[in-house]
């Protein structure tokens, strides 16, 4: 069984152990998008409350950010690094 620490370490950290800003931004924006999406659906269908058009625009913005950060993160995984390993290690 894979521990949750290993999953977090593999997905949110760089190979040298530092936190990746791109991965953290992707993680946070994805979670906010999910929460906001649930709020929009619940307020529309269950509570019969009119949806604010700006809430949908904010949701679309977070989804755009999530998609862009996902693409950048995947592109960085396939792009070879230009810095030498000797420069990174102290």
Q: Which one has a higher pLDDT value, 32 or 79?
A: 32
Q: Is residue 29 within 8 Å of 62, Cβ to Cβ?
A: yes
Q: Which one has a higher pLDDT value, 27 or 82?
A: 27
Two tokens, residue 52: 């604010």
Query: Mean per-residue pLDDT for 13-18?
Result: 78
Q: Can you give the residue ranges of every domain in the chain?
A: 29-76
Euclidean distance between CA atoms 52 and 81, whole angstroms: 44
Say what the pLDDT of residue 89 is.
54
Tell me the pLDDT tens digit for each residue of 24-77. 888 888 898 899 888 888 887 888 878 888 888 988 998 998 889 888 887 877
Which of 9, 14, 13 has its CA nearest to residue 83? 14
Euclidean distance between CA atoms 80 and 14, whole angstroms: 14
């Amino acid at each position: 069984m894979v521990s949750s620490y290993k999953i977090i370490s593999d997905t949110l950290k760089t190979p040298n152990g530092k936190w990746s800003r791109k991965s953290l931004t992707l993680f946070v924006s994805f979670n906010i998008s999910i929460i906001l999406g649930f709020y929009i659906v619940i307020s529309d269908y269950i509570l019969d409350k009119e949806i604010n058009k700006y809430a949908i625009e904010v949701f679309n913005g977070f989804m755009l950010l999530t998609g862009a950060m996902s693409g950048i993160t995947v592109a960085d995984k396939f792009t070879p690094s230009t810095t030498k390993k000797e420069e990174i290690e102290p």
